[in-house]
Amino acid sequence: RICYIYTKCGHAVPMVRHSVECDNRNCKFSRAHPSDCNGSKCKQTCWQYRQYPQQYSPHIAAYCPSCLSSST
């Protein structure tokens, strides 16, 4: 999950449609997961459920879109 933090107004804006994809080979849902990894071997060595989503919060030295639109 991505949530932009705008430092000039202090608002946080979550980006609902954006997510950071897993690139771990041992994650069954990753694009990096080998196509030949399946069956009992996969169940023993790879995550079989989605991990709790990580939060990525870049700080942006600007006003949020709502503050910008209300100031014009």
Distance, in Å, from the CA atom of 21 to the CA atom of 32, rounded to the nearest integer, reads: 10
Res 28: pLDDT:
83
User: 38 or 72, which is more confident?
Assistant: 38
State the Cα angle at 26 between 29 and 58, rounded to 5°.
70
pLDDT digits (tens, 9 = 90+) for 5-25: 999 999 999 887 766 677 888
pTM passes above 0.85: no
pLDDT digits (tens, 9 = 90+) for 32-62: 889 899 889 888 888 787 766 667 789 999 9
Distance, in Å, from the CA atom of 60 to the CA atom of 11, rounded to the nearest integer, reads: 10
